[in-house]
Structure 1
Amino acid sequence: MKKIGVMLALLMLGVIVAGCVEQTQTTTTEGIEETSDTSTPIATNTTSRTQTVVSHYPVVVIDFAGKEVTVNKEPQKIVSLAPSITEILYFIGALDKVVGVTKFDNYPENVQEGRTVIGGFSDPNIEVIASLEPDLIVGTSMHIKYLDQLEKIAPVIIIDPKSIEEIYEAVELLGKVTNKEEKASEVVNYMEEMIEETRSKVKGAPRVKVFYIVWSDPLMSVGNGTFIHDLITIAGGENIFGDAQGWPQVSVEEVLSRNPEVIILPPHAGISAEDLCNSTLANTDAVKTGRVYTLSSDDIVSRPSPRIIEGLKEIAGFLHPEIFNFTYQPLICEATTG
């Protein structure tokens, strides 16, 4: 009888152990394998691979408006409220998540195809945005006035870079919330390499005095604290209005007194290079020597996205053609007026 009792005891012990093993396996499907010390969960191999994806979220970030924004899961439907934002999302590999763009989005090519146009840059259609049921909306400071309405639809992140460094920050922030941090780092590293390469090439070269025309009437230029000013400086130039801040309105007399050696303007500045021949600015060294350059696109300097590097390459070529093997047809004025 004593032997039978021992055998029954062993049998019951086996059932208990088996039950514990089965319970542990069931717990594992929930994400971790519990041990006697519940404060120290041990991840199984299978679960570890799952946790690598899940553990990235929720993500909490501070956006450019100083708001704390929580993104609880990887965004699958993103609405972009600015072309520059769409471009950043493209470069970090998150464009496939974008469901809404503005009517001004034009990069990459055919970006509007298969996506809903949610209105203009400054006047997005809130109802259209809501109909897309996004799980993330990304805008600029232009859209803060719509914040209350937009936050009822989805988390809203505001990015508004004013310098090259802040473009890096914007790329990294969007990389973080879209789970594209590695790609975002690659993009920033590439930008930094191109900028450092340009700086290195112009090091020791004479600084070229530059007047950048943002708009012709009223005459507007760029000052310190803008990414265009940064591009001019990195490319080996001296912005003649670098002592101003932002986007200063300037007078023709000021331009003449500072006498730029190079004038740069975008295609849509309200004035062409040829128009300068018949203006008072014809008395600047830039016009006299034919060193008036028109960028290939407004977007490569006006949009704070990784494409700013394209703008840098063009500006560097304008300022130091001998260093960057740049050729450009000089402006030839048949006659100038005072």
Structure 2
Amino acid sequence: MELPTIPSHPLNVTDQMGRRVAVPFPPRRIVSLVPSQTELLFDLGLGEKVVGVTKFCIHPTEARTQATVIGGTKNFDFEKIAALKPDLIIGNKEENYQAGIEQLAAEYPVWLSDISNLPEALDMIRRVGFIVGAKEKAAALAADIEASFADLALPAASTAAPESVAYFIWRKPYMVATTGTFIDDMLRRAGFANAFAGLSRYPEISADQLVAANPQCIFLSSEPYPFAAKHMAEFQALCPAAKIEIVDGELFSWYGSRLRKSAAYFSQLR
């Protein structure tokens, strides 16, 4: 028996890019183009309404079996998306590509996030909760995350300078996360100083630049490059005095509900 259609009402909102978007409220067929925002939607209880996700949406485990995989974050399958008849698409300025977003926005309501720090992530969580009809749950989630980071703050009595860290996201070529990135904000909140703070975003660096920076710590992220223990000796040879660690990239770069786990994880890295 087919359930009766419940009418939706247009909700005019502004996304984090300052774009005005008319979203049916409540949305019933959501395509998520960003892994961390997919996980957020499921944690807000919207899993049954998520009809499309990317191949990188690995959390929760059922996301890619319950919903249709519509390609990657930077190469959408437009035919698959059209077949899903979405009434809301949620993306991100950095993780998605402008041409693809513009093509989708010509046909569907597309809400974009733009996140480079914790306050913007919390704002995204609250705004997404509002547009999908889970305002209270999203507000509670954001408050919990905010409180966990407040508890993470360094004790006021501490006078020690923060350890310098080089955070690697790629190998061949070497690439690091620096000023202006969400990862950089997470490093600062975790009590570290970015060894490449004078550079911008995700620059390529040479082995000589790493040696000259002489970081006290080198973090090798588990994503997007799959750094593993076998890579540690390569960096230890360049910086013999540095502490080398493989770190959970999701807890440094996923800006949705996974942030609930980040502060506790960061406290163990000090």
Give the TM-score band, short-chain normalised.
Answer: 0.7 to 0.9
Q: Does 1:257 align with 2:212?
A: yes
Q: Could you tell me which residue of structure 1 aligns to residue 184 of structure 2?
A: 229
Pick closer, same or farther for the CA change 1:203–1:79 going to 2, 3 Å. Answer: farther
Equivalent position to 1:306, from 257, 260, 266: 257
| 1:104-127 deviation line (CA, Å, top 9, x unaligned) | 211012222221111222111111
Q: Could you tell me which residue of structure 2 aligns to residue 177 of structure 1?
A: 131
Q: Could you tell me which residue of structure 2 aligns to residue 209 of structure 1?
A: 164
Equivalent position to 1:187, from 129, 135, 141: 141
Unaligned 5+ runs, structure 1: 1-53, 320-338
Report the Cα distance in structure 1 between the residues aligned to 2:263 and 2:156, rounded to whole angstroms: 12
Identity %: 29
Report the Cα distance in structure 1 between the residues aligned to 2:188 and 2:156, rounded to whole angstroms: 10
Alignment-mate amino acid for residue 141 of structure 2: V
Report the Cα distance in structure 1 between the residues aligned to 2:235 and 2:186, rounded to whole angstroms: 27
| 1:220-239 deviation line (CA, Å, top 9, x unaligned) | 11112211111111111111
Alignment-mate amino acid for residue 199 of structure 1: A
Say if 1:75 and 1:135, in contact at 8 Å, map to a contact too.
yes
Q: State the SS of the aligned residue for 1:124.
A: coil
Report the Cα distance in structure 2 between the residues aligned to 1:272 and 1:114, rounded to whole angstroms: 30
More strand by share: 2
Q: If you compute each CA radius of gyration, which structure gives the higher value, 1 or 2? A: 1
Report the Cα distance in structure 2 between the residues aligned to 1:306 and 1:294, rounded to whole angstroms: 22
Equivalent position to 2:196, from 234, 241, 256: 241
Q: State the SS of the aligned residue for 2:57.
A: coil
Say if 2:24 and 2:88, in contact at 8 Å, map to a contact too.
no
Pick closer, same or farther for the CA change 1:78–1:270 going to 2, 3 Å. Answer: closer
- State the superposition RMSD in angstroms: 2.4
Report the Cα distance in structure 1 between the residues aligned to 2:72 and 2:9, rounded to whole angstroms: 32
Pick closer, same or farther for the CA change 1:209–1:172 going to 2, 3 Å. Answer: same
Compute the displacement of 1:192 (Å).
Answer: 0.5
Q: Does 1:218 align with 2:170?
A: no
Q: Could you tell me which residue of structure 1 aligns to residue 83 of structure 2?
A: 131
Compute the displacement of 1:309 (Å).
Answer: 4.3
Q: State the SS of the aligned residue for 1:246.
A: coil
Q: Could you tell me which residue of structure 2 aligns to residue 285 of structure 1?
A: 241
Say if 1:252 and 1:281, in contact at 8 Å, map to a contact too.
no
Report the Cα distance in structure 2 between the residues aligned to 1:148 and 1:261, rounded to whole angstroms: 43
Report the Cα distance in structure 1 between the residues aligned to 2:49 and 2:157, rounded to whole angstroms: 42
Report the Cα distance in structure 2 between the residues aligned to 1:189 and 1:292, rounded to whole angstroms: 33
State the TM-score, normalizing by the size of structure 1. Answer: 0.70
Compute the displacement of 1:93 (Å).
Answer: 2.5
Report the Cα distance in structure 1 between the residues aligned to 2:233 and 2:181, rounded to whole angstroms: 28
Say if 2:211 and 2:238, in contact at 8 Å, map to a contact too.
no
Equivalent position to 2:39, from 87, 92, 115: 87
Report the Cα distance in structure 1 between the residues aligned to 2:44 and 2:226, rounded to whole angstroms: 34
Say if 2:113 and 2:124, in contact at 8 Å, map to a contact too.
yes
Say if 1:69 and 1:157, in contact at 8 Å, map to a contact too.
yes
More helix by share: 1
